Structure 1
Amino acid sequence: MNRLSSVAAGVLLMSAVSLSQAAQPSGCVEVSVGGYKAPDYNCLSQQMGNNPEGAAAAQKNLEAMNVPVNKRPPNQVGLATPAGTSTRMGNTFGTSVKPQRPATTP
C-alpha cells in the first residue's frame, strides 16, 4: 500500500510539473540593452491576437458600421437639414427664396 501511494504521489507530482511547464507566461519580458528598452514584439503580438472575444467584438463593430439607409441621419444620406439650410440661406432663412449673398463690388 505504501508503494502504491508513493507511485500515485509521483504521478501527481509529474502531472503538476508538466502542467506548470505547459502554461505560457502571462507577461512579456522587456530587455534593456545599452539604455534602450527592447520589448518582445512576438509575445505582445500573441497577447493581442489570441483574444477569443476579439472575433465577437469585431463582428459587433462591423454590424454597428453597417447601419441601414433608413436608420442613418439625413446629413449622411445627402438630405437637407434645417441647420444646413439655415447656414446656406443666412439671414434670409424663412423670409426669402433667395439665399443671402454679399454685396457685389464694382
Structure 2
Amino acid sequence: MKHLSNLAAGVLLMTGLSLAQAEQPPSCVEVTVGSYKAPDYNCLSQQMGNNPEGAVAAQKNQQSMNVPINKRPPHQLGLATPAATSTRMGNTFGTSVKPQRPAPATGTSPLLNGR
C-alpha cells in the first residue's frame, strides 16, 4: 500500500512538472562566437507573435493597406501632380510648353584628345 501511494505521488509530481513546463514559453538559445552574439530570431519572432491582440492589429493593418483606388493619392496612381510637373518643367512652368533644359555642351572631352 505504501508503494502504491509513493507511485501515485510520483505520477502527480511528474504531471505537475510537465504542466508547469507547458505554460512557460520556449527559451531561445543565444549563440556566442568570439565576441559576436547571434540570437535565434525565429524563436524570438514566435514569442512575439503569441499576442492575442496581434491578430486584430494585423487585420486592421491589412484593411488600411487596401485603400480604394478612388481614395489613393495621385502619385500612387502615376498621375502628374503640380509639384512633379513644376520640377520637370523648371523655370518655364506656366509660361512655355517646352521644359527647361541646360544649354548644349560646347567643347570637347579631355578623354577624347588622346586619340
Asked whether the two chains share a fold, i.e. TM above 0.5, the reply is yes
**1:56-86 Cα distance to aligned partner (Å, 9 max, x none):** 1111111111111111111110111010000
Distance 1:74 1:21, change over 3 A: closer
Structure 2 residue 71 is matched with structure 1 residue 71: yes
Amino acid at match of 2:50: N
Q: CA RMSD in A?
A: 3.4
Q: CA deviation at 1:49?
A: 2.4
Q: CA deviation at 1:104?
A: 1.9
Structure 2 residue 86 is matched with structure 1 residue 86: yes
* Aligned positions, number: 90
Distance 1:92 1:40, change over 3 A: closer
Report percent identity of matched pairs: 81
**1:31-70 Cα distance to aligned partner (Å, 9 max, x none):** 99x9886867786454212111111111111111111111
Residue in 2 that maps onto 1:100: 100
Residue in 2 that maps onto 1:50: 50
Q: CA deviation at 1:105?
A: 3.0
Amino acid at match of 1:77: L
Take 1:63 and 1:96, find their aligned partners in 2: how far apart are those partners? 44
> Which ranges in structure 1 are unaligned for 5 or more consecutive residues?
1-18
Take 1:42 and 1:90, find their aligned partners in 2: how far apart are those partners? 51
